[in-house]
Structure 1
Amino acid sequence: MATVLNVIFNVLVIGWSLSPWFFAAYLCAAAVIAAGILTARGKIVRKSAGAQEAQSAVQNRLFDGWDTLLIGNRYNWSRWKEVFGRTVDKAEKTETQYRFSNNILSLLIMVGSIFPMILVVLWTLADSAGNVGRMTSVIVTLPRQVSNIQYLSVIVEYVTELVGIREKVRNIDHAASAVEKENQYHGTIRWENLRFSSGDVEFRFENVENFLEFLKDCAEEERYGRILITGTNGSGKTTVLMRIKEYFGDRAYLFPNHTRLFFEDSNKKEYSTGQRLRANVEEVLDRMKDPSVRLFLFDEWNANLDEENQKEISEYIDRLAKRGLILEVRNKEV
């Protein structure tokens, strides 16, 4: 505000002491600045939105990485690191382009705005050729004119930056919407309430040690297939899967329920729940070639899926069961 008042005061003094044409020159400069900003506003907004979206993409990828890191699936982690690097590079590039574009637009607007003032100064000097006193007054005020130009340059930069900032503020909600509450897996396991079945065969375990030893033998002997874990609510079905993942580490692959686990294909577009899970399982089938992974854990994978999606995804899981042992928690029969 002080800068604007300073410019107005200087214009009044110069216009009153030298020539009313200076008023006209500064009015033209103000009109050029206003027209330039209005004309460039769309470009500034687009560049700002692009930079903000790129920054939001980095933030989203960080959220993906957090769940991916906690779950500990090596495949998802390696894919996340690669894509995150590309996302950061894109964000840096778009931010640089936005800054460069802003500076160029400010420069062009500034050049256009000072043109009327230069014309008036030159005309006044030429008109004062025979009047030493008036010419001296014009020359004496030149530093003040330069100061005005500098002040106007600052104003133009502030305004163009403000347009971009307003667009970024508008997009904060978009970035914040990427924040999802993390699932917390905790609790006890009530082994007496749990059932483990593979077809018509049922298994019972008294504690986690016996269960993990059984899975270890299955993995080493390559006994594959699907084991369904059932039990009453609160019996610890999800906790069982988390204990398996904790014990086996990279040798177990966990498909958790409701997390931001990173997959390259399903993160490229908007999918329904069924489409996303199908794409994720298919990606693991086609791209994850780690032979050390012998256990695949599915936590309530058929929740909120219609019958058609359940059957189709179950077929994918059957294919996956030829490569490892499937342990799954379902909230309804398939």
Structure 2
Amino acid sequence: MGLSTYFIGLAGEKVAMLPMESFYYTGLFFFAIFIAYLLGSASLFYRVKLSNDLWEKYYQKTLIDISKDHSISTEENKRSTQLWLSGEALSTLDEAGFAFIEILAIYFNVIFTTIALFVILGAELAGVIVFCMCLSVMLLYASKGKIGLIASSMQNEKLVALLSIGKIWDNIFYGDKKSSQWALASSKKKIDVYFKKIESYKILEQIISCAPILVSIPLLVLFSYYQVLNNSLAIGAMVAVLPRTLQLFQNIHAASMSTSQIMLLKNKIQKLDAFSSSLTGYDYLSNIDNEKVSVIEVASGRIINAHAFMELGLETKNTTGRYLISGSNGAGKSSLIKYIKSKHPDALFFGPNIQVGKDTNSGSTGQKQLYQMASLLNSDSRIILLDEWDANLDESNMKNIDNMLSALAENNIIIEIRHKRMIS
């Protein structure tokens, strides 16, 4: 694009005295534009490839980091992570991939077009453009802190707005009219806060990007006037490159916006990197009441208190059988079974809203549960943890699964929480 500006400027200079030479430079102008559009098309492909690669690596890294700490395996953290990866991370890294290529293209365009205008129009007019660029950089630097605060706030408010969708879903499908209206109104408030953050950023962005141009245009007109007075032949070159000069101001405006977006994205990406550490862990031990939770060895009927059971050597080959975790609601039965899973990474865990293995076929909750339980027959895990596995099963299916678990327990360890508390 810089070369095309140079060639069209030369064509403008020669148009009066040497029309054939002017035509030659016009041909070079179109050739340069042709090459520019080929490169632009190629860059579009690599923008998409870069964005995809960024998100894929972030997606895998985040899940690997999260998997190292079992205490954050709560349902709330699960929803937050799903929304974060599919919402904030996906959109931010998509923007980052595009913005990185875009800002390189814009800055190179501005630099080389400015050099071409310097050669064609002289130092005075090119100096005005350089002044515009420097003023833009100064405003961006002065606004760096404000942009960082807005970036962090935008991410927080977006996640809050997305998390409210689950509550809306339950209220509109399972609540009454009043609860449905409340959920929608509450969500709207959260979304409005997020949109106001976006709008405040856009206002700041436009002030930063437009102010230098508004100051520079009168100076450009003034210097152009005096240059034409002193050199009447310069009018041809000036008229030829005038559209490109205006386009250059557009590119400076775009460069300023892209730079502020890069600054915004930098702060957002820093928060992406810290997402795993921001999740709140769950303290299993503090939520287990040793006086109210006990473990029954099903074969012998022996009762073991929770803390003593946690110290058993479950990894040893001699330990087999079924163990039933018993206790009142809120005493910490689920906390105990999840604590055991945290200490035995190779154990299999089945529980409410948990799906392990391949996707199940569509069907009722009970059918999906049967599918999951049947997969235990092909499992290589010695320790199998079951949280309310019988909650959605009828008596016939429950007895069949119960018999299957008893057979598995001959060579494996089955630790379970029962909903109906029936052991055959």
TM-score (ref. length: structure 1)? 0.48
TM-score (ref. length: structure 2)? 0.39
